[in-house]
Structure 1
Amino acid sequence: MEDGARGDDGQSLKGTDKTENFRVRLMTTPSEFSLLFEWAIAEGWCPCVYDAESYYKQDPTGYYLAELDGVPIGGLGTVKFGADVASITQYIVKPPFRGKGYGYRMWQEVMKTIGDRNLFLESAPAQRSNYEKSGFKSSWQTIRFRGVGRTDDDHAVNNAEDRVTLVSVDKVNFDDFCAFDQKVSGVSRPTLLKSWINQPGSINLVAVDSIEGIGQKREYRIAGYGCSRLCYEGYQSTSFSRKIAPIFAESSAVGLQLFNALVATVPPEIPFYIDVIDVNENAMQIVSEFGLESISSITHMFTKCNSVQQNMVYGVASCDIGF
């Protein structure tokens, strides 16, 4: 089935039977996207406030809604990156409809739209064996850490090797920025990156090594970058937290410098989150020395190969899309 293909009615996939009016169809309105993210907030996933819009820009044919008798009961997203890679995200069935097979039926129908791509997802511990039956392999554990913005100036983790300059992302060439991200993530995603760095309230820093050129011209080399985005703290919360996501860096010194700078932007008493992969021991050491609290753990899974440069990941860009 071609990317974004729909069923015979032009909108629904073939997810009906003779006993009930169950169907899976492509989401088509902003309110439907918002509904899925509201469910994610209720699950305690703390999605970023504007990420739904960013994912839609990356793949406007990637989100599906499961309906029973015309009532939405679940959803599933597939964010595609070109012809070779896709991320499975926001796989949710509303609690009253769980354990009745609707989620699996939705999964089967949506998987028909993806083709032969390499798939990524983040699995809760209880679901890992189910994904393994579908051909997924386990990689690392993604651990979510929580902290709170502080008022003192001496809370940063000591870093004796601050050797790069941190600049706003708009000070570097966007193509160079995208190339560094692809070096770490393994995928080309300029559309998503452009949306991420332009989200309201976001802070986006790039670590550069400056090299003196001829005359007044200066050349630079990107050594890392880090972002902070607004995220939901909880269901019906009246305030936003911050998510430090991602921190990609070529060394632990650069990763630490970006971490300190981004944590320093969090307002006092405001919670912040960062998702760290357990196989990067340097990243784990940073959050440990800062005293962050571990609050949850999920498993990064894939179907074909894991192209992420894990030694350069000091904070995951998004657990929604897996890297």
Structure 2
Amino acid sequence: MTGFSGFEINGASAADMELLRDWADEEGWNPGDSDRYAFAVADPGGFLVGRLGGEPVACVSAVRYGAGFGFIGFYIARPAFRGQGYGIRLWKAALERLDGRLVGLDGVVAQQDNYRKSGFRSAWTNVRHEGVPRAADPGDAVVPGVEIVDAATLPFGQLAAYDRRFFPAPRDAFLSAWIGLPGRTALAAVREGRVEGLGVIRPGSGASRIGPLYAAGPDIATALLLGLAERAPGGAVAVDVPDAHPRAAALLAGLGLTPAFETARMYTGQEPDLDLTGMYGVTSLELG
């Protein structure tokens, strides 16, 4: 589709996806090194790039999940092109692509008022906690009756069903890639054949990112986090923790992680019914 004064909006190419990752890193968001590969399979048409005279100057994701949900992320205009209307045109294109759906996003503090003007309402705040986890007792990594296993060894349908407790729509293609991409580790907590926890760690340019981090209780969340942190170069990890689950923030603080920055989870309509009591870390600020 065309815009104004040589400005065009079209779908992202594979090269653009790598560029978007670099832009997000420059914003200080520390995306996972390989996240873009999972993002691309979530919704191949869901990533938009604004070009001025053929040069990429802005981007946004507007990813469709199922029949009724969508998520906006990667909303970035290059510094030299801000305040000139390019970003807002891209934003409107994203909303148009998700028209008729409940839409969510994780908004940085500086943009939250603008999102409210577009009909988004805050549901909770995600606070990124970073640091090297330190257990008070080596036994914290062990939960009686629970086995921590490689998630890839479990039937995928079991993992996908568990993920649906924490996300408003099916996202099987994304989840399969998210768990299985090279360089990352996915651990599951299993009790008597039931999945009671799931965590994924992947490398980034800074602290290794953990997300999701789901667990039936703080003991399982601790065991998963400590197990994942063993795979982190240098040991430093970052987890985006919803403040709607206060025990999660307390758990991470007790392990020595400290707040770094925050975003607001916002929706255009009724907040979806999610298992927030089991959500110790969201999957991704870019795609939910």
Same fold, judged at TM 0.5 (above):
yes
The one-letter code of the counterpart of 1:244 is I
- Listed one character per residue, the Cα deviations across residues 88-126 of structure 1 (whole Å, up to 9, x for unaligned) are 010000000111121111111232122211111011112
Among 168, 187, 204, the residue aligned to 1:231: 204
Q: TM-score, normalised by structure 1?
A: 0.84
Alpha-carbon separation, structure 2, partners of 1:273 and 1:187 = 25
Q: Give the CA deviation at 1:245.
A: 0.9
Alpha-carbon separation, structure 2, partners of 1:162 and 1:231 = 32
Alpha-carbon separation, structure 1, partners of 2:203 and 2:110 = 29
Among 72, 83, 100, the residue aligned to 1:88: 72
Among 302, 312, 316, the residue aligned to 2:267: 302
Alpha-carbon separation, structure 2, partners of 1:198 and 1:129 = 37
Alignment match, 2:7 = 22
Q: Give the CA deviation at 1:195.
A: 0.3
Alpha-carbon separation, structure 1, partners of 2:147 and 2:139 = 18
Aligned residue runs from structure 1 range 255-270, under 5 A? 255-267=221-233, 269-270=234-235
Alignment match, 1:193 = 175
Among 82, 89, 96, the residue aligned to 1:105: 89
Moved over 6 A (4+): none
SS in 2 for 1:224: strand
The one-letter code of the counterpart of 2:256 is G
Q: Give the CA deviation at 1:161.
A: 4.9
Alpha-carbon separation, structure 1, partners of 2:133 and 2:127 = 20
Residues 100 and 157 of structure 1: CA distance in aligned 2, closer, same or farther (over 3 Å) = farther
Q: Give the CA deviation at 1:76.
A: 0.7
Aligned residue runs from structure 1 range 68-217, under 5 A? 68-148=52-132, 158=140, 161-210=143-192
The one-letter code of the counterpart of 1:229 is R
Among 41, 60, 63, the residue aligned to 2:25: 41
Q: Using the TM superposition, name which of 253-262 and 73-82 deviates more.
A: 253-262
Confirm or deny: 8 A CA contact 1:15 1:106 kept in the other structure: no
Confirm or deny: 8 A CA contact 1:78 1:86 kept in the other structure: yes
Confirm or deny: 8 A CA contact 2:72 2:94 kept in the other structure: no
**Structure 2 unaligned spans of 5+:** none
Alpha-carbon separation, structure 2, partners of 1:161 and 1:177 = 20
Q: Give the CA deviation at 1:159.
A: 7.0
Q: Give the CA deviation at 1:172.
A: 1.5
Alignment RMSD: 1.9
Confirm or deny: 8 A CA contact 1:14 1:109 kept in the other structure: no
Q: Give the CA deviation at 1:281.
A: 1.5
Alignment match, 1:9 = none
Q: Give the CA deviation at 1:287.
A: 0.8
Q: Give the CA deviation at 1:276.
A: 0.6
Among 56, 80, 99, the residue aligned to 2:40: 56
Residues 14 and 157 of structure 1: CA distance in aligned 2, closer, same or farther (over 3 Å) = farther
**Structure 1 unaligned spans of 5+:** 1-12, 211-219, 234-240
- Listed one character per residue, the Cα deviations across residues 243-272 of structure 1 (whole Å, up to 9, x for unaligned) are 1111111222222221222223324x3432
The one-letter code of the counterpart of 1:165 is E
Indicate yes or no: 2:208 matched with 1:242.
yes
Alpha-carbon separation, structure 1, partners of 2:29 and 2:111 = 16
* Seq. identity, %: 30
Confirm or deny: 8 A CA contact 1:277 1:316 kept in the other structure: yes
Residues 132 and 21 of structure 1: CA distance in aligned 2, closer, same or farther (over 3 Å) = same
Alpha-carbon separation, structure 2, partners of 1:171 and 1:263 = 20
Kindly indicate which of the two structures has a greater share of residues assigned to helix. Answer: 2
| Matched residues, number | 287
Indicate yes or no: 2:239 matched with 1:274.
yes
Alpha-carbon separation, structure 1, partners of 2:139 and 2:6 = 57
Among 243, 251, 268, the residue aligned to 2:217: 251
Confirm or deny: 8 A CA contact 2:213 2:283 kept in the other structure: yes
